[in-house]
Structure 1
Amino acid sequence: MTATWVLLSLALLVALLVHGRLSPALLFCGWAGGYHLLGLISERELLESYANPGLAVLLLLLLISLVLERAPLIEHFSDTLLKGGERLATFRMCLITAACSAFLNNTAVVSTLLGTITRQRHHPASRLLLPLSYAAVLGGITTLVGTSTNLVVNSFAERAGLPSISMFQMTTVGVPVALACIVCLTLVARWLPVRTGDDGGPRQAYFLEARLTAGSPLIGRSIEANKLRNLDGLFLVEIVRSGRLISPVSPEEILHADDVLIFTGEVEKMQVIDRFPGLQVFGTRADDLLRSNLVEVVISSDSELANRTLREVDFRTMFDAGVVGIRRGDKRLTGQLGRIPLRVGDALLLAAGADFAQHRNLARNFHRVGGAPLHPKLTNPQTRWVVGGFASVIIAAATNVLPLFAGLLLLLGAFLASGLLSMAEIRRRFPFELILVIGAALAIARVLESSGGAAIISDVVAHVFGDLGVWGAFIGIYLMTVVLTEVVTNNAAAALAFPIALSTAHAFGADPTPFVMLVAYGASAGFLIPFGYQTHLMVYSPGRYRVMDFVRTGTPVALVYGTVVLLLVPRVFPFFP
């Protein structure tokens, strides 16, 4: 009976994660705490989940990446990377991105190339940004440190008494999978649309908000009479009046004082608004705003702005910047900008003030698309010793000279001692939510296993795929993991799938290793939905994508990925040694 209730509660957890209104940290911690109060997991076991060695390695890796992401590794040859034919440029970009993502934080790699690809004029940005995100995912499956999911799965394996995953144990399967998918990406990237304004320049469609101040001669006259119908580069789409939305706007519509006019079009044509007395953009003249430093950013997955409005956070005071426009994929946002709840992945065009670059919370909240860098890059000597130090730690761990935890700890100390990383920066960028989610997920997975819930699901898998034997169960576990990673987070998918995979391996008397590897690869196979992976959200608005763009392009990639994984894993890691 306990196992049944645990499974029902986990079904509710998955449903709430899919719904997306509550944060994963709140849900996972709530479930882990609830299981403890119900006596399903002891206090010692719950605390051990947060003291897991794999989680400690992940934390050190994330802190070190705060320095690594400032190293201009790709910028030196990023423009050369995109020259030549479109297919060659796509292949070259994907190959380099995957190679960097094998050792660096995926988010940092995509963030580095995001602005370059958006601004370049060689090829349509919408044909490159989605392959960029997919390539970052593919690079992550080639090494133990390529993505947090691999380290989470390794944590489960160690806790289950299985051998740890070595640094390059995933490479034998990961590299062929990545290469096959990159070739597929090179071919199917042509299916991606060329969105209007994707010429590599600054012409990006935003929704601009202009207020009609009292005393303006425009008041009391129609849109047609004021000649607001055919502006050069801008189009009036809506009027907000006393909290009421007027859309579409009729040419006969009479303007009132304090009307908020919503325009869409080219940002650099904003100065045409100055021809209309009393019409102000964000409380100032449009030409004054354009003389500010215009910076385009994307809201990051760690941002405190998510699900809050500009008014709630007092954006101008918080960042010394005004929001000129907001874009969400290719979706048209309605209403006043200050009242729109922001989401991770939204693109904002900021008119940055003099003190904008001095604000220390920029890197936590934004990824840069255009404008000045959000934080200073390392110098060439600094880059050499930072990258060299990290490479030395990886090599020492791979050759068993020094444990990965000890090497990363020493490197973190060296970064702090040299001033390349400060305690203040660690406090600002500390991944509290990720640590809470993973620690709680480890506890939930333990309950799923100890309650017998994992055994029940493995019995169902064995029954459904029983005629196909261990191979059928293997395929069933992969499909279940992929579905979970598409609808919830990749780390959550790994946490839920691992105990089921382990129980299934035991039920068939098979070696658990191929099932462990399968969960690691399956939990990173998120190609169909943009909302489940942070790099997908990073490119969603800059590429002006729709969900169907991900489905259309991601389906062949997912099929190639799954086929190669299912064929290679049992060959490299046999079911029965």
Structure 2
Amino acid sequence: MNLELYWVLGLLLGAVYFFVTNRIRMDVVALLLIVLFVLSGTLTLEEALSGFSDPNVILIGALFVVGEGLVRTGIAYQVGDALVKVAGSSEIRLLVLLMVAVATLGAFMSSTGVVAIFIPVALSVAQRLEIPPGRLMMPLGFAGLISGMMTLVATPPNMVVNSELMRNGIKGFGFFGVTPLGVVILLLGIGYMLLMRHRLVREPSDKKRSSLGRRSMRDLVREYRLGGRARRLAILPDSPLIGHTLDELQLRARFGANIIGVERWRKFRRVMVSVSAISQFQARDVLLIDMPDPQEVRRLCSEGRLEPMVLRGEYFSDQAREVGLAEVSLIPDSSLLGKTLREVTFRNVYGVSVVGLRRDGSALEGWLVDEPLRMGDTLLVAGNWSFIRQLQTHVRDFLLLGLPAEVDEMAPARSQAAYALIALAVMVLLMVTDPVPNVIAALVACLLMGKFRCVDLESAYRSIHWPTLLLIIGMLPFAMALHKTGGVTLIVDGLMALVGGMGPRVMVASLFILTAVIGLFISNTATAVLMAPIALGAAQQMGVSPYPLAMTVALAASAAFMTPVSSPVNTLVLGPGEYRFMDFVRIGVPFTLLVLAVCVVMVPLLFPF
């Protein structure tokens, strides 16, 4: 080996060391590699920076924006609702459905795109079921990789190997030629993740504990004892409230009823709408009311022709996309001090209703509107998220404290959901039919998302996970460095001399291992380009069919389970799952060995030697 190759391998080992120890951020390590390649003369400036123009980098960035559009329009959470509805409270059923859905969609479109789309869905579902995100993120990533084993067009390595067969005058694989193997590996992956899911999360650090401990709306309801005060009352068809405004009815003065919101039928479902003094009630409306006195509730129902309805403990969390809860704390010199909520006319001034009050660490019960406010009081307010966010501008009267976890599910562009679906459908159609490269399909979807106001520039730039892109950009030049210094050629040339005489099954295992190891450091497409000719050459020298060895290379190129930099799919789930480098090693290596065993056993059965 020449000195330049020693240098490249040394840099490789150094990068792996920092990835494993996590002493330096992975994206910083990647940028250091670019600098060292140029300073050492191993790569030219253009070669070292080639990752910035790589289509896969642009594709991943564009898919982050597409995913943000699905979140802002509420589509991602609607998919989550469907998964939760089918899975119920079963984490096992949820994991199975998630992996099957991702693997199925990824069989016909970019697995990276599918995973990027499903990440916000999985995070939302995990939050609702109170499951650590780490239990779903790695199964999501593994399902994305397995999707490459489902059809011939599921991933570029499959098509690279198929093209190599045809280039050598050999008939290629059928469209579903790889599918039986993919289905078996998917079932194996589901079973493996069900067994390992409790090992997918680590004990969080103190810093993580505080972020994970952000209170939910359910916590706020319990702390302010809102459960015993809130009521749901349906307006019957003959109610005298119909057609009158809130100001005309004077429900607070007559019954002590504090209207928080109104559920109203729109397009075959109930949605929560904000209320004001001029809000007019309609038949079939359901009033969400803060009323502490049960006798007054009965009197209001009798006189107003209202019917009590069930109010579950998780009601506010379920309505989190339309109505929010938040805490505000009064400060010295506030104009509210000494006044009652009735005198302040809080809802008319700020657009939200006060539904709870804490003083000296304890929630006050009973009628709150006539309670004089004191310095240090903390108010629980309810209303539209846009009004809640505006509270932070009233810094002379109170401070808006930390918002509950459900604020992440707010869909500010919910009305544009249909256009987001159109943009997504266009992207999927272009990726499946392949008239343009995947990156162009994703950019078209981004432009459509912007045109239809599903995303704005600020949210688009904020949605891109720049450390992920920098990590990929920094690792891409390694393939070029290994080529230039002869490292890949040296490894491949030794294969035949080492195991060429040990039989075809040993060759299958060796090709799988070598392909998987090379795939740790360079893209799976480049790995397939390098290994496909070697597989066909080995088959020719051994006098066996080229199909089993070619299929082994295709499967091994997608078996990038062992590190977070082995595939963009793994890198996508690294942050949301709060994983470290070694988490992929300890979970991915055993599963890669299982896939290896499947290949050694099943490939010769489906494609005889």
Short-chain TM bin: 0.5 to 0.7
Q: Which string of whole-angstrom CA distances, capped at 9 and with x for unpartnered residues, describes residues 39-81 of structure 1?
A: 3333443454432334433333333232134423423323322
Aligned residue in 2 for 1:5: 7
Counterpart CA distance in 1 for 2:571 and 2:79 is: 22
SS for the counterpart of 2:147 is: coil
Task: Give, in angstroms, the shift of residue 519 of structure 1.
Answer: 4.7
1:34 to 2, 25, 36: 36
Counterpart CA distance in 1 for 2:94 and 2:197 is: 12
Aligned residue in 2 for 1:441: 475
Would you say the 8 A contact 1:145–1:167 is kept in 2?
A: no
Aligned residue in 1 for 2:406: 371
Would you say the 8 A contact 1:144–1:166 is kept in 2?
A: no
Counterpart CA distance in 2 for 1:190 and 1:63 is: 29
The number of residue pairs the alignment matches comes to 410
Would you say the 8 A contact 1:57–1:404 is kept in 2?
A: yes
Q: Which string of whole-angstrom CA distances, capped at 9 and with x for unpartnered residues, describes residues 116-137 of structure 1?
A: 345438xxx47x9625631442
SS for the counterpart of 2:480 is: helix
Counterpart CA distance in 2 for 1:400 and 1:66 is: 24
- With over 3 angstroms needed to count, the CA separation of the structure-2 counterparts of 1:172 and 1:52, relative to structure 1, is farther
- With over 3 angstroms needed to count, the CA separation of the structure-2 counterparts of 1:85 and 1:437, relative to structure 1, is closer
Aligned residue in 2 for 1:330: none
Alignment of structure 1 residues 502-517 onto 2, 5 Å: 505=535, 508=538, 514=551, 517=554
1:112 to 117, 121, 132: 121
Counterpart CA distance in 1 for 2:58 and 2:584 is: 37
Aligned residue in 2 for 1:411: 445
SS for the counterpart of 1:60 is: helix
Would you say the 8 A contact 2:59–2:439 is kept in 1?
A: yes
1:141 to 140, 146, 160: 146
1:523 to 560, 582, 588: 560
> What amino acid sits opposite 2:125 in the alignment?
T
Aligned residue in 2 for 1:354: 400
Task: Give, in angstroms, the shift of residue 499 of structure 1.
Answer: 7.8
Counterpart CA distance in 1 for 2:574 and 2:51 is: 29
Q: Which string of whole-angstrom CA distances, capped at 9 and with x for unpartnered residues, describes residues 467-496 of structure 1?
A: 4366545534544666788xxxx7767599
Counterpart CA distance in 2 for 1:288 and 1:507 is: 78
> What amino acid sits opposite 2:554 in the alignment?
M
1:76 to 58, 63, 81: 81
Q: Which string of whole-angstrom CA distances, capped at 9 and with x for unpartnered residues, describes residues 161-181 of structure 1?
A: x99x99999867544422332
SS for the counterpart of 2:408 is: coil
> What amino acid sits opposite 1:109 in the alignment?
F
Would you say the 8 A contact 1:142–1:171 is kept in 2?
A: no
Aligned residue in 2 for 1:250: none
Give yes or no for the alignment of 1:423 onto 2:457.
yes
Would you say the 8 A contact 1:32–1:444 is kept in 2?
A: no
Q: Which string of whole-angstrom CA distances, capped at 9 and with x for unpartnered residues, describes residues 241-279 of structure 1?
A: xxxxxxxxxxxxxxxxxxxxxxxxxxxxxx99959xxxx
> What amino acid sits opposite 2:81 in the alignment?
H
Work out the percentage of aligned pairs sharing the same amino acid. Answer: 16
Task: Give, in angstroms, the shift of residue 501 of structure 1.
Answer: 4.2
Counterpart CA distance in 2 for 1:402 and 1:446 is: 26
SS for the counterpart of 1:421 is: coil
Would you say the 8 A contact 1:106–1:136 is kept in 2?
A: yes
Task: Give, in angstroms, the shift of residue 500 of structure 1.
Answer: 6.8
Would you say the 8 A contact 1:491–1:523 is kept in 2?
A: no
SS for the counterpart of 2:476 is: helix
- With over 3 angstroms needed to count, the CA separation of the structure-2 counterparts of 1:394 and 1:496, relative to structure 1, is closer
Alignment of structure 1 residues 529-568 onto 2, 5 Å: 535=573, 538-539=576-577, 557-564=591-598
Task: Give, in angstroms, the shift of residue 206 of structure 1.
Answer: 6.1
> What amino acid sits opposite 1:14 in the alignment?
V
2:58 to 56, 59, 70: 56
Q: Which string of whole-angstrom CA distances, capped at 9 and with x for unpartnered residues, describes residues 337-381 of structure 1?
A: xxxxxxxxxxxxxxx973867xxxxxxxxxx9x4322552653x6
- With over 3 angstroms needed to count, the CA separation of the structure-2 counterparts of 1:21 and 1:67, relative to structure 1, is same
Q: Which string of whole-angstrom CA distances, capped at 9 and with x for unpartnered residues, describes residues 95-136 of structure 1?
A: 345546757453652443334345438xxx47x962563144
Q: Which string of whole-angstrom CA distances, capped at 9 and with x for unpartnered residues, describes residues 185-243 of structure 1?
A: 45x369779999xxxxx9x99699xxxxxxxxxxxxxxxxxxxxxxxxxxxxxxxxxxx
- With over 3 angstroms needed to count, the CA separation of the structure-2 counterparts of 1:131 and 1:60, relative to structure 1, is closer
Counterpart CA distance in 1 for 2:150 and 2:68 is: 15
Would you say the 8 A contact 2:525–2:557 is kept in 1?
A: no
Counterpart CA distance in 2 for 1:575 and 1:445 is: 33
Alignment of structure 1 residues 270-309 onto 2, 5 Å: 274=361
> What amino acid sits opposite 2:419 in the alignment?
W
Alignment of structure 1 residues 168-187 onto 2, 5 Å: 173-186=181-194
Counterpart CA distance in 2 for 1:384 and 1:568 is: 44
Counterpart CA distance in 2 for 1:421 and 1:193 is: 33
Task: Give, in angstroms, the shift of residue 448 of structure 1.
Answer: 0.1
- With over 3 angstroms needed to count, the CA separation of the structure-2 counterparts of 1:92 and 1:535, relative to structure 1, is same
Aligned residue in 1 for 2:228: none
Q: Which string of whole-angstrom CA distances, capped at 9 and with x for unpartnered residues, describes residues 307-365 of structure 1?
A: xxxxxxxxxxxxx9xxxxxxxxxxxxxxxxxxxxxxxxxxxxxxx973867xxxxxxxx
Task: Give, in angstroms, the shift of residue 18 of structure 1.
Answer: 1.9
Would you say the 8 A contact 2:47–2:477 is kept in 1?
A: yes
> What amino acid sits opposite 2:538 in the alignment?
F
- With over 3 angstroms needed to count, the CA separation of the structure-2 counterparts of 1:60 and 1:120, relative to structure 1, is closer
1:20 to 19, 22, 25: 22
Aligned residue in 1 for 2:485: 451
SS for the counterpart of 1:419 is: coil
Q: What RMSD over aligned residues (CA atoms) do the two structures have, in Å?
A: 5.7
Would you say the 8 A contact 1:502–1:515 is kept in 2?
A: no
2:416 to 371, 377, 382: 382
Counterpart CA distance in 1 for 2:459 and 2:139 is: 29
Counterpart CA distance in 2 for 1:565 and 1:17 is: 29
Counterpart CA distance in 2 for 1:426 and 1:540 is: 22
Task: Give, in angstroms, the shift of residue 453 of structure 1.
Answer: 0.9
Counterpart CA distance in 1 for 2:486 and 2:196 is: 45
Counterpart CA distance in 1 for 2:101 and 2:184 is: 15
Taking structure 2 as the reference length, what is the TM-score of the superposition?
0.51
Would you say the 8 A contact 1:56–1:405 is kept in 2?
A: yes
Counterpart CA distance in 2 for 1:103 and 1:473 is: 30
Counterpart CA distance in 1 for 2:605 and 2:57 is: 29
Would you say the 8 A contact 1:67–1:421 is kept in 2?
A: yes
- With over 3 angstroms needed to count, the CA separation of the structure-2 counterparts of 1:136 and 1:515, relative to structure 1, is same
SS for the counterpart of 1:141 is: helix
Counterpart CA distance in 1 for 2:59 and 2:417 is: 23
Would you say the 8 A contact 1:24–1:437 is kept in 2?
A: yes
Counterpart CA distance in 1 for 2:425 and 2:115 is: 17
Mean alpha-carbon deviation: is it higher for 415-424 or for 399-408? 399-408
Would you say the 8 A contact 1:177–1:561 is kept in 2?
A: yes
Counterpart CA distance in 2 for 1:517 and 1:37 is: 36
Counterpart CA distance in 1 for 2:413 and 2:446 is: 16
Task: Give, in angstroms, the shift of residue 539 of structure 1.
Answer: 4.8
Task: Give, in angstroms, the shift of residue 421 of structure 1.
Answer: 2.1
Q: Which string of whole-angstrom CA distances, capped at 9 and with x for unpartnered residues, describes residues 8-36 of structure 1?
A: 33222222322222233333333233333
Would you say the 8 A contact 1:36–1:43 is kept in 2?
A: yes
Could you tell me which runs of 5 or more consecutive residues in structure 1 were left unpaired when the two chains were aligned.
Answer: 197-201, 209-270, 276-284, 294-319, 321-351, 358-367
Task: Give, in angstroms, the shift of residue 444 of structure 1.
Answer: 1.6
SS for the counterpart of 2:13 is: helix
Taking structure 1 as the reference length, what is the TM-score of the superposition?
0.54
- With over 3 angstroms needed to count, the CA separation of the structure-2 counterparts of 1:64 and 1:473, relative to structure 1, is farther
Counterpart CA distance in 1 for 2:361 and 2:584 is: 38
